[in-house]
Structure 1
Amino acid sequence: MPKRARRNHSSEQEAALLKCNHVEKIPVSDLCNKQKLQPSLFYTWQRQLFENASAVFDGSKTGVSAREQELQARIAQLEAKLAKKDAVNADISEEYVKLQKELGEP
């Protein structure tokens, strides 16, 4: 019998399954059977959740994930690029108006 290919679950899927168990009180066995998931994997996710839960309550209170920081950096980069393009457009428009005046065009 050939081995099944590994399935990768997104962090959103993992969180949703953990929430079903902890908030909605759906038994682990029912969740795992429905999702065709090994209970050991579910408990690994649960352990990771509780090991990293302290980050939510740490003293920094920034609440900014690495992904959010990455996106904020990208936004800043794109805004800087846009500002540079705006400056170039303003310069070109100014030169165009000067040329129109010199050539006597309306």
Structure 2
Amino acid sequence: MNKEMSERALEYLAVEEFPFGIASGIPVGVTVAGKFGEKESGPNLQVKSLHDYGIVYHAKQPYLICIMTEGDNFYNLAPIIHEISRTVYEEVENQTRSQ
């Protein structure tokens, strides 16, 4: 993939499709290029998997993050992704303050 196509792909991934995932734990104005996925499995589809990954364009230290969750209810999994995302962003922010 050439540079132009790579940049175009990142632009598409930066369009928020899942407002309850990683992007919800990141301050407004910080770009996140990512993709989420969901899956139901088990004999009665009782196991729910919700995953989100992204490139967080932190001003001083961009980083990759991937969060994979599993439970019995999608609505209970999204807040977990949010909280992990928020915690990681805060840690990166703390580590880069003196830079």
Report which of the two has the higher share of strand.
2
Task: Work out which of the two has the higher radius of gyration on C-alpha atoms and give 1 or 2.
Answer: 1
Larger RCO: Structure 1 or Structure 2 (Cα < 8 Å, ≥ 6 residues apart)?
Answer: 2
TM-score (norm. length: structure 2): 0.26
